[in-house]
Structure 1
Amino acid sequence: MNLAISEPLPPNDPMHLSRPVLCQDDRAPWIGQKATGPHRATGVVHRVYSTPFGVQVALLETYNRGLSLQVTELLSTATLPATHRTAYLRNYRTLLNMPVPELGTSARRTAAWHRRAKLYTHYDFALKYVEAALLEHVQAGDELVYRLGTRMVVLDPDLDRDRLFGWRRRMRVRATSEHQDTVRRWGWTDGEDDLFLRHDGLGPLPTLGLL
């Protein structure tokens, strides 16, 4: 996967996702702080990454010894208020109550749904961008961890790639010994699976030597 930027792209262009680059902000005020995100999810911020979508993404250690990603605008700490969380959650609840447009839906209702859906598309893009960049550096033998702490060792990091964006889409993994029982309940045979990478910020993510 070519991570080099060869020509400029406008902000919010989804094709940024085809070549994600890790841009770590070591001066971000979030680093080292206990932060709370949407739905009361909490964790300690280890790193913050800038993205071409106008927002930054924090890498948090959860209280289950896992890792997750979240847009910093949705986080709050004792000294830093969340700047967009209330509006984001209000819009999210509104979308849940709006039927997804189908054939025959009026143009007005369809436009209203799409307008709501696009309000925070850049948040989703930013999470996918950082997750894809982190996973691009994974090698065989590295460990991945989910938000709730389930860990696994990578056997084959290049099992499958997305045809459009080129990012890693599936990896062959084996659960670590202490998490074999967990993945058996997921239906994994012999504790191994061809893991589908959702790119939603919830993992699994590389441990990066942080855990």
Structure 2
Amino acid sequence: MRPLGRLIGFDIRLAPSPRLRSLWTGERRESFLLRPDLNFPFSIDRAVWPSRFQLGAAQASPGLEGADVIVLDPASANTHFQLFDLWDDLNQMLVPHRKTPEGDAGLSVGLVLPEQDPNESTFPEDEWCRAILDTPIRPPDPDPAWTRIGYDVANSGFTSALSNCGMSDDERPTLRRLWSNRLNRFGLFESAEDAQRYRADANRRIEEDGPFFVFELHLIWSSVPIS
């Protein structure tokens, strides 16, 4: 099946490990996940699925240890990464890459455009959207060998409406009834159409965090089995 999203960049994420899974306590799962039974939620959101890259020598994010982090010099780091937390060149991203004992995964991110969604005619006037689409991406299209793992719904800061926007006690049962069976084993929408419908709902329900977009995620590689 051909890719639906237009590529906007690449990242390297930590492969799910017992250490990362332990961060998803019962309380956190109940507060944020439409499917609390997931083995591990995959996401464009770096707070949900940690990136190995970090600008400067700031303290590592929760769940990461020193050996996990690839520190980039802010003075010479890839400009696209500085602006958007994604690399615009896959080969350039691999230059500072080194293996980590618990493994990692290469991720490609595509943005689903209005012309690719029959229910949308235009994006909202959004400076971020225009800026991120203005950078040439190399390679420009996902390789057929990459594995599409699903569609996330997130804002321009990559805060995921699927796994990092809390639900109130009143709305949680309804949201899970409507959407949980539409998520795959990665915690992502299998269908872009379902993701677009959820995006419209999120734009109404959590307007203060929007606007939201639909992102298509492909797994380039994984050094450990992904399940």
TM, length-normalised to structure 2: 0.28
TM-score (norm 1): 0.29
Judging by fraction of residues, say which structure has more strand: 1
In terms of Rg, which structure is larger?
1
